[in-house]
Amino acid sequence: MKTFKRGIHPDESKQATENEPIKYILPGEHSLMLYPVAQNLGAPCEPIVEVGQYVKNGEKIADSQAFVSSPVHSTVSGTVKEIRDNVLPNGNISKCIVVENDGLLTEHESIKERAGFDDIPKDELLKIIREAGIVGLGGAGFPTHVKLSPPAGKKIDYIIVNGSECEPYLTTDNRVMIEETYKIILGLQIILKIIDTAKGVIAIEDNKPEAIAAVKKAIDGAKNISVEVVKTKYPQGAEKQLIYAITGREVPSGGLPADAGAIVDNVDTVIAIHRAVLRGRPLMRKVITITGQAVNKPGNFKARLGMSYRELIEVTGGFKTEPVKIISGGPMMGVAMYTLDTPVIKTSSAIICMTDEEAYIPPETACIRCGQCVANCPSGLMPLELNKFVLHGRIDEFLKYNGLDCCECGSCSYVCPAKRHLAQTIRVTRRSEMAKKARK
């Protein structure tokens, strides 16, 4: 089976939710919905509404003039109560527009269905995607209209729809492939109209037989679209690793997927494109896995953006025991949270509520130079050396040894017998240097 070089095989821990159908939930009447203006990579938005203003479901409430940005929409109807700072699931602080839900879900006039997309020009399709506020829903949060506008001279041969979902515990992509299959196909056909030089490939790990069967049945007769079953291995869903698995091409150091002639989009991102173009609906919901041994009723839930994590946990069954750790996202790349008073945002993927048994990590000890982190790094880096450079402030050497090529998958920390904080130190430094680079 197709795969990438190196990588690891952590316990999948998906059994609690992989067969749980997606349940649709709504925030309660009078709930306070928080809409951060910074939910994407690139420039944050600014509010375009005022305190006291009445907004409708699907109405744009924040935007930016920057190209690499993505607008924010209200996901309920109600009144803007305030604009204030609040913590996000990733620990960052963002200005948030607070809307009190009136429970009516009165829709904005801009939401209108379309009969098809054959007659819509490419530029107009990109504008629709941009105005819908669609970003990468696999976790990166890169504005999709930018990704689908490759630099001049970059020929795109492959549109890869990422259905790998290699992160342990997470099962939302698996469920949407089973339950909303036709939307993925239509969304991919829209992308293939925009990038008409490419062929579409839907990549699914071999541990998802039901999803594979559903997608293969749905593409029967579809032109220029195929399914590739890839090996179950972590991090198979990482962009560069998936491109290599499907095409055999390597994204150059410091380069972009377009440099390898490919664009990768998550399955739910492709569904969001279908919803925006054919149903006229902006990005307003996220499918989230709620799981862990501390949870009463693990499952997959379709929640409105802006809904509080605390309310989400309560309406889906609450805790059966007080968790010792709550992670937003997966255990490999997610962030441990110190509060549930944070909103569902575009990049939310899971809430993992762990008991002592699940959360235990042995204390960090001295490196024994076994080389396991090097042998398993999917990016071909030397994590032990990068960690040393960071701890000693030798940032020039960190950059020289391609620290920016780290995909932050956490494989190095997982395999380290000394439980060195390799991924953590590399991640913090990488993000700091990437921010400096972006400012320049």
Closest alpha carbon to 249 in 234, 264, 235:
264
Residue 313 near residue 319, CB atoms below 8 Å: yes
Residue 227 near residue 212, CB atoms below 8 Å: yes
pLDDT attached to residue 153: 85
Closest alpha carbon to 267 in 179, 173, 193:
173
The token duo for 100 is 């009190």
pLDDT attached to residue 291: 96
Residue 352 near residue 291, CB atoms below 8 Å: yes
- The CATH code of the domain at 122-278 is 3.40.50.11540
pLDDT attached to residue 173: 96
pLDDT tens per residue across all 440 residues of the chain: 899 999 999 999 999 999 999 999 999 999 999 999 999 888 899 999 999 999 999 999 999 999 999 999 999 999 999 999 999 998 899 999 999 999 999 999 999 999 899 999 999 999 999 999 999 998 788 999 999 999 888 999 999 999 999 999 999 999 999 999 999 999 999 999 999 999 999 999 999 999 999 999 999 878 899 999 999 999 999 999 999 999 999 999 888 899 999 999 999 999 999 999 999 999 999 999 999 999 999 999 999 999 999 999 999 999 999 999 999 999 999 999 999 999 999 999 999 999 998 988 889 999 999 999 999 999 999 999 999 999 999 999 999 999 999 999 999 999 999 999 999 999 999 988 988 887 77
C-alpha 60/C-alpha 73 separation (Å) is: 4
φ/ψ region of 11 (left if φ > 0, alpha if ψ in -120 to 50, else beta) reads beta
* β partners of residue 205: 230
Side by side, the strands of the sheet bearing 225-230 are 225-230, 199-205, 158-163, 262-266
Residues forming CATH 3.40.50.11540 domain(s) in the chain? 122-278
* β partners of residue 290: 299, 351
| Cα dist from 370 to 235, 367, 418, 420, 426, whole Å | 22, 8, 10, 12, 19
Closest alpha carbon to 18 in 282, 210, 146, 199:
210
pLDDT attached to residue 112: 94
SS3 category, 374: helix
Q: How many CB atoms lie within 10 A of CB 425?
A: 19
Cis peptide before 235 (omega within 30 of 0): yes
Residue 136 near residue 266, CB atoms below 8 Å: yes
pLDDT attached to residue 262: 96
C-alpha 158/C-alpha 156 separation (Å) is: 6
Closest alpha carbon to 276 in 135, 409, 67:
135
| Cα dist from 30 to 26, 35, 78, 80, whole Å | 12, 15, 9, 12
φ/ψ region of 402 (left if φ > 0, alpha if ψ in -120 to 50, else beta) reads left
> Residue type for 192, please?
L
The token duo for 22 is 């997606």
- The DSSP result for 71-89, as a single string, is -EE-SS-EEEEEEEEEE-T
pTM of the model: 0.94
pLDDT attached to residue 295: 95
φ/ψ of 23, rounded to 5, equals -105, 135
Burial 310-334 (b: 16+ CB within 10 A, else e): ebbbebbeeeeeebebbbbbbbbbb
C-alpha 160/C-alpha 427 separation (Å) is: 26
Closest alpha carbon to 430 in 331, 333, 327:
333
The token duo for 90 is 């990733």
